[in-house]
Structure 1
């Protein structure tokens, strides 16, 4: 018998640490746009994927 999940709760905590951003952790990334923080890049990627999923669902 299949199980249907009707609700999915996702909780995320984002912190902005000035000390961590200045070290080597923030140097990896796309490299072509240095003024975008890694957090903003992750949000943009997630938003793009979400919008693509909504478009695909509406096309069906």
Structure 2
């Protein structure tokens, strides 16, 4: 039982350490130096059309998102 708990704790620590290194990776260059993080692109608004093909609010019944 103690081996299982120790193994689980070690695995959890390893995964959290790996996750932290991946989170910091985008703000470093190839040499490992800190750089300014690139700005995230703004999300495009979703537009919807109704059954007749006219633009409608996306929450209305029968409205479907367009690509």
Q: Mark yes or no: TM-score above 0.5.
A: no
TM-score bracket for this pair, using the shorter chain length: 0.3 to 0.5
Larger radius of gyration: 2
TM-score by length of 2: 0.35
Normalising by structure 1, what TM-score?
Answer: 0.38
Larger fraction in strand: 2
Q: Hey, which of these two has a bigger chunk of helix by percent?
A: 1
